[in-house]
């Protein structure tokens, strides 16, 4: 498509096109995962129907489900990557309107996430114990049952009995989601919502809410929404998708490594990484203070390197200038 003019498309149409491309991508990837599971692990397509409810029924169930998880999310990310090609825009500039101002930005974004973890523990504990109004009691019971079932599947996928399993888990549950979800939400959804509503901040907040909602975990909505805000502002300030990807990967990988260490009894027996408990309040408050300070510092450094308007993504997909 080199040499062809960029197509102008309304943000809503871009979002609808993204949905279509993501569905096509995940459909193709899921088919490849089913074929791969059959060829590599002897897990047939019919076996998959029961693996999600009884994952331990097949000797190679863990490998098959991990393959399916990784490829499915990769398919969604691939759909997002195709969008700029349809719009006849350079893929690199669509997702990274600005070059990295410094090579340490992704590392600093990862450090921010690590600082934020203790503070988020208080939000996680509060949200996990939240209750819906009486009129929605039936919905609450359904939501908790659904999340309990999903938690069992997650527990199975994060049962790392060997370093090899941990590496496979890091690839399928940390790297691929960080890349695919950032391409979709921060790379496509956020700038298009910003253009549509004419507000950078509203676009970030709506994207964070959508990012949290699509995970279908009602009793984890708020902490994931907060994480979405952090990722959104990191992308907004840096203008480069690698920064939010690094932060997202750090969040995922840190949880997986903690689980692996706990399962190998390398952590105190009293420590349970799956528990929805608030860490000691001095730790929570220190974490919050450090995170706010680091956010402010990153905002100052990243926006100081903001490129001029002529270096931002041109024409239809670029968010409006403030």
Cα of 183 vs its chain's centroid, Å: 9
Q: What long-range pairs does 123-126 form, CB within 8 A, spacing at least 24?
A: 123/222, 123/223, 123/226, 124/220, 124/223, 124/276, 125/276, 125/277, 125/278, 126/222, 126/278
- How far is it, in rounded angstroms, from Cα 275 to Cα 215? 19
Cα–Cα distances (Å) from 75 to 72, 107, 174, 178, 306, in that order, read 5, 27, 15, 13, 32
Domain boundaries, given as residue ranges, for the chain: 11-317
The pLDDT value given to residue 137: 80
The pLDDT value given to residue 30: 93
How is 79-114 classified by DSSP, letter by letter? HHHHHHHHTT--HHHHH-SS--S-TTHHHHHHHHHH
- How far is it, in rounded angstroms, from Cα 186 to Cα 203? 10
Cα–Cα distances (Å) from 97 to 280, 286, 304, in that order, read 41, 34, 15
The pLDDT value given to residue 187: 96
- Which residues of the chain register pLDDT less than 70? 1-7, 307-322
Dihedral over Cα of 38, 40, 42, 43: its sign: negative
Question: Minimal CA–CA distance to 150: which of 52, 31, 56, 59?
Answer: 52
How is 237-288 classified by DSSP, letter by letter? HH--HHHHHHHHHHHHHHHHHHHHHHHTT-S-TT--TT---PPPHHHHHHHH
Specify the 3-state DSSP secondary structure of 170.
helix
Rounded to two decimals, what is the model's pTM? 0.90
Give the position of tokens 């009293």.
270
């Amino acid at each position: 498509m080199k040499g062809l003019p960029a197509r102008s498309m309304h943000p809503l149409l871009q979002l609808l096109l993204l949905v279509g491309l993501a569905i096509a991508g995940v459909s193709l990837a899921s088919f490849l995962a089913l074929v791969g599971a059959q060829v590599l692990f002897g897990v047939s397509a019919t076996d998959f129907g029961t693996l999600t409810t009884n994952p331990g029924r097949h000797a190679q169930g863990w490998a098959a489900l991990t393959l399916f998880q990784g490829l499915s999310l990769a398919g969604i990310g691939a759909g997002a990557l195709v969008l700029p090609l349809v719009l006849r825009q350079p893929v690199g500039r669509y997702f990274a309107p600005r070059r990295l101002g410094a090579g340490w930005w992704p590392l600093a974004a990862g450090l921010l996430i690590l600082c934020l973890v203790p503070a988020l523990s208080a939000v996680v504990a509060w949200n996990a114990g939240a209750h819906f109004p009486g009129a929605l009691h039936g919905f609450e019971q359904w939501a908790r049952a659904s999340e309990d079932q999903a938690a069992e599947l997650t527990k199975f996928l994060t049962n790392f009995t060997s370093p090899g399993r941990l590496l496979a888990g890091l690839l399928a549950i940390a790297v691929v989601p960080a890349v695919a979800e950032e391409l979709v939400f921060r790379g496509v959804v956020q700038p298009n919502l910003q253009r549509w509503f004419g507000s950078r901040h509203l676009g970030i907040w709506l994207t964070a809410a959508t990012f949290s909602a699509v995970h279908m975990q009602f009793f984890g909505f708020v902490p994931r929404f907060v994480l979405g805000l952090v990722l959104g502002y990191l992308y907004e300030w840096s203008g480069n998708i690698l920064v939010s990807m690094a932060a997202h990967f750090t969040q995922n990988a840190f949880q997986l490594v903690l689980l692996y260490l706990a399962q190998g009894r390398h952590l105190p027996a009293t420590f349970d990484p799956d528990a929805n408990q608030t860490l000691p309040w001095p730790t929570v408050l220190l974490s919050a203070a450090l995170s706010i300070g680091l956010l402010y510092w990153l905002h100052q450094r990243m926006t100081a390197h903001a490129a001029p308007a002529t270096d931002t993504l041109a024409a239809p997909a670029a968010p409006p200038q403030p």
